[in-house]
Amino acid sequence: MNRTIRTTEDVLALLDGLFPPAEPFWDRFYADRSADRPFFTPKPDENLASYLDRGLLAPGRALDLGCGAGRNAVHLASLGFEVDAVDLSATAVTWAEERAREAGAGTGLRFHRASIFEARLPHAHYDLVYDSGCLHHLPPHRRVSYLALLDRVLAPGGHFAVTAFAAGATGSERTDEELYRLGALEGGLAYSPDELRSLFREFTPLEIRPMAAQGPGSTLFGVPFLLTALFRRAPGR
């Protein structure tokens, strides 16, 4: 059968197939825990800690998209958030669950091995949706799915925070069209502040800035090649 496209999901699935599958890559990425990768640290993002310290966020229900080895999910749970954390990689989720047990996280922290677009979540809405490094690994057409996910799960008046590769610092700055011609994301896509404002223009931007670099002795994670942003959804939406 040659004519297989009937729905929007059929189109998205076809476009997914133009890029290498993500799951095997991320399983290999997290398999060697001794690898020198900054994201393997157990420390939470400095921007997330800053939002909490300044009272921009308060404990509630949180959804961690692309949670990796769980460093931000464990931190949120330690502060009283009820957290659902999702990652495509079974290897990453296994590591995250081990970290959660070591930290003494209770039943308020749940990990889900799934695509962020297919995870079965226990709640319809979340007060905080947090993404540290997921968005910039999505192919362009999946921004449509990403925005639909936010529209579905972010509570009215809730907050959305994202950390992504910063344009001019790291990541691919090719156009979306060029990426499809290439058939690769070149390790991840770079975003500028204006691009994040435009992409999430349905939300109010509260802060967009480079991540503050952190030294080896810091209790927080921070590298200057990332861009951080915090948005708020209107209370009535």
Local confidence band at 105 (pLDDT 50, 70, 90 cut-offs):
confident
Query: What is the rounded average pLDDT of the residues 10-17?
Result: 96
Q: What's the pLDDT tens digit per position in 190-230? A: 999 999 999 999 999 999 999 999 999 999 999 999 999 99
Which H or E run contains 26?
A: helix 22-31
Q: What is the mean pLDDT of the chain?
A: 96
Rounded to whole angstroms, the Cα distance separating 134 from 227 reads: 13
Local confidence band at 237 (pLDDT 50, 70, 90 cut-offs):
low
Rounded to whole angstroms, the Cα distance separating 6 from 122 reads: 30
Q: Is the pLDDT of residue 1 over 80?
A: no
- Residues whose CB is less than 8 angstroms from the CB of residue 27 and which lie 6 or more positions away in sequence, other chains included: 89, 90, 91, 92
CB-count burial class (<10 Å; 0-12, 13-18, 19+) for 135: buried
Domains observed in the chain: 8-31+40-232 (3.40.50.150)
Rounded to whole angstroms, the Cα distance separating 117 from 39 reads: 23
Q: What's the pLDDT tens digit per position in 129-165? A: 999 999 999 999 999 999 999 999 999 999 999 999 9
Beta bridge partners of 166: 191
Q: Is the pLDDT of residue 115 over 80?
A: yes
Q: What's the pLDDT tens digit per position in 128-138? A: 999 999 999 99
16: helix, coil or strand? helix
152: helix, coil or strand? helix
Q: What's the pLDDT tens digit per position in 171-187? A: 999 999 999 999 999 99
Rounded to whole angstroms, the Cα distance separating 2 from 189 reads: 32
- Residues whose CB is less than 8 angstroms from the CB of residue 197 and which lie 6 or more positions away in sequence, other chains included: 205, 208
